[in-house]
Amino acid sequence: MPQTELQKLITDYLAYLEIEKNRSPKTRENYEHYLNVFMEFAGIKNPAEITDQLVREFRMTIARRNIKKITQSYYVIALRNFLKYLAKRDIASLSPDKIELPKTPSRQIETLAYGDLERLLAAPKSDSLRDLRDKAILETFFSTGLRLAELCSLDRYLDLERGEFSVRGKGDKIRVVFLSSSAKDAIKNYLKKRVDVEEALFISIDKSGKVIGRITPRSAERVVTSRALQAGIAKPVHAHELRHSFATDLLMNGADLRSVQALLGHANISTTQIYTHLTDKQLHEIHKEYHGKRREE
């Protein structure tokens, strides 16, 4: 069955996203899903048939499916960006300015209290390969702010003396990250214990202590959660909290937002700004605790 004009334009747009905008295959796949759901609902063949009323009805329909607010916004963002693409190519359709994005609740982030963070980093204590690996994983997470998948993709031949390396992140974008002295020492101690020839920096180890290949994101997540329990931290701790702690630690110590954005690999500064709400709150608590004490005497 031949593609309709609208289907062909969506296919062109998805190729444009991946090739010209350098978006990841996962982003392309998500956009394809969101736009296909709209196409299935709308039952139209031409871009000129996309109307304000049709979009309102679509939004009402996905809202009634009990889809989370944030996910509903992804459908709307995908549709609006597609309309921007049509407008750029002078193809008659609904103006993207007609579509307002839904208001979503402010993203909540969790970070570790500094005492909890110190206990977590100190949790692996022995010189076994597993403990040395886990220590290196925790220190690397906190030193670099890497995402789970980024950490798991690292290879072992890093220039540890230089203490910096490039990582390929979301959207296939490359950024430089840096290792603290603690992270460098932890990785060196761990690599000294390695006798295998695996290329991966962080490896999976079975119950008998045998190396069984590159560590998976799921296994790396388990390292963080199990070591947090060992450290006596009452709440569940996830790997992404170390990324959050990395960012807030930089901001609390005076780093500017643009630098933190670059270190985290965020495409937009607005994504990094979620951390300012937390640091503002912490600064308020510091002010409340320490300001004006002599006047109260």
Number of CB atoms found within 10 A of residue 100's CB = 9
Q: In the chain, pLDDT over 90 holds for what percent of residues?
A: 61
pLDDT value, residue 227: 97
pLDDT in tens, 95-104: 999 988 776 5
Q: How far apart are CA 189 and CA 103, in angstroms?
A: 48
List residues with catalytic annotation: 147, 170, 240, 243, 266, 275
The answer on pLDDT for 43 being more than 60 is yes
pTM, two decimal places = 0.65
Q: Where does the chain have alpha helices with state H?
A: 5-19, 25-42, 52-64, 69-88, 114-121, 129-144, 148-152, 181-193, 217-230, 239-252, 257-264, 269-272, 274-290, 293-296
**Band (65; pLDDT cuts 50, 70, 90):** confident
Q: How far apart are CA 253 and CA 280, in angstroms?
A: 13
pLDDT value, residue 291: 54
Number of CB atoms found within 10 A of residue 174's CB = 9
**Band (146; pLDDT cuts 50, 70, 90):** very high
User: Please, what is the average pLDDT of the chain?
Assistant: 88
DSSP letter assigned to residue 213: E
Q: Give the residue carrying structure tokens 């979009």.
A: 55
SS3 (DSSP) at 95: coil
pLDDT value, residue 106: 56
Q: State the DSSP string of 22-87.
A: ---HHHHHHHHHHHHHHHHHH--SSGGG--HHHHHHHHHHHHHTT--HHHHHHHHHHHHHHHHHHH
The count of residues in the chain is 297
pLDDT value, residue 278: 64
pLDDT value, residue 107: 58
pLDDT value, residue 104: 57
* 193 vs 271 pLDDT, higher one: 193
pLDDT in tens, 51-60: 999 999 999 9
Q: How far apart are CA 210 and CA 21, in angstroms?
A: 43
Q: In the chain, pLDDT over 70 holds for what percent of residues?
A: 90
Q: Where along the chain do its domains lie?
A: 5-98, 114-287
**Band (173; pLDDT cuts 50, 70, 90):** confident
Q: How far apart are CA 139 and CA 128, in angstroms?
A: 17
Q: Where does 96-128 have alpha helices with state H?
A: 114-121
pLDDT value, residue 269: 84
pLDDT value, residue 145: 94
Q: How far apart are CA 241 and CA 239, in angstroms?
A: 5
**Band (108; pLDDT cuts 50, 70, 90):** low
Domain covering 5-98 assigned CATH 1.10.150.130 in the classification: yes
pLDDT in tens, 197-241: 999 999 999 988 899 999 999 999 999 999 999 999 988 899 999
Under a CB-based contact definition with an 8 Å cutoff, are residues 173 and 267 in contact? yes
Longest CA pairwise span in the chain (Å): 84
* 215 vs 257 pLDDT, higher one: 215
pLDDT value, residue 19: 86
In CATH terms, 114-287 corresponds, of 1.10.443.10, 2.102.10.10, 1.20.1090.10, 3.30.70.3280, to 1.10.443.10
pLDDT value, residue 105: 56
pLDDT value, residue 181: 94
> How far is CA 232 from each of CA 118, 181, 198, 287, rounded to the nearest angstrom?
12, 25, 33, 29
Average pLDDT over residues 189-193: 96
